Structure 1
Amino acid sequence: MTGPITLTGQSVRLELLSVAHSPALAEAVCDGELWKLWYTSIPSPEEMTGEIERRLKLRDEGSMLPFAVVSLPTKRIVGMTSFMNIEAAIPRMEIGSTWYARSVQKSALNTEAKLLLLERAFEVTGCLAVELRTHVLNQQSRRAIERLGARLDGILRFHRVLPNGTIRDTCVYSITAPEWPAIKVLLRGKLGLP
């Protein structure tokens, strides 16, 4: 999972995250004031550079591969996503730490971004499974994950303490390698791709 990687579709490009993305990401997170959502952890504009540096440190340690998300129609950076909890020996990973500006939420951008990431995970890296996780109360995220064809593996109860002091139960979803061919057809169909 090293070397230059850019994943490009019809409406989205995922490019390796760098500190140079910080101003555009600080602007994108203001679209919906996403850092104010209590059930997730999204950096505020002032915290963006620190969050990017945190993700880059994890990249250097081999457990994360973070991306900036670019909307191709507007040529604007609209969020971040990552391969994370990378277990190269299995191989297995999670797609997570994802957020998008409100103006592109519930659009084809997320479906295509996930298609590109899943293609990379299963067809290039040879993953046996890819996880997606979210707060049990984040119904928007749960519905989006389920629309991808991922299946609920279970709920990790009392999994994490959030910055506001509440306890998060985490829903763990996954897609396995045998499921991937059918899910790929599903996602391409949703995007109107052959």
Structure 2
Amino acid sequence: MILKKIPSIEEAEAYLLEAEELNPGPWIPHSRYVGEAAKLIAEQHPSLDPDIAQILGYLHDIGRRFGVMNIRHTYEGHKFLEEQGHADAARICITHSFPTKRVDEVSDGWDGPKEQMEFTQDYLDKVEFNDYDKLLQLCDALAMPSGFVLLEKRLLDAAMRRGVNDYTLKRWQVTFEIQAEIEETIGASIYSVLDGVVENTFGFTP
């Protein structure tokens, strides 16, 4: 699978550093760990490029450069990267947050204009998730600002911060299905390539 409309790793790093100046916060180290997780897992995957995976991970939340916001960061990130000419990276800004392809299923609701929500839903209706989309959906749920953790810890952390709704379990189930699909492809547990999972999840070194 070849993605052409993405920035270089140097450009991605520059975008992230600029975003940190504009809106510093835990989302910055989270993005770095998502990128690192994506790279490490992609190194074991036959159809994924590790460097591309890392770039997409770095930029999946780049919409947060525009300020503190909830799910609207998906739209803002897509718009920003499209304007920079990086359509394939822009795609991940939207797809990483919607494993069920439904905007109305997120727990904290849409926090922007209705037109932005409609654009995002229309985009999801037309897209067919590829291996990069699924990888980033998974890696977003593997990375805390402090490092890699069990999926369960990250999902519970998000639920405690944002709340839950009737669709939360459905979204979790899809995430675990993606984990199983990727693990079948790479022939190993995803945790076997992620350092520090035990320490970051349980708070001790085995």
Provide the TM-score with structure 2 as the length reference: 0.31
Query: When you count strand as a share of all residues, which structure comes out higher?
Result: 1
Provide the TM-score with structure 1 as the length reference: 0.33
Q: With a CA cutoff of 8 Å and minimum separation of 6, indicate the structure with the bigger relative contact order.
A: 2
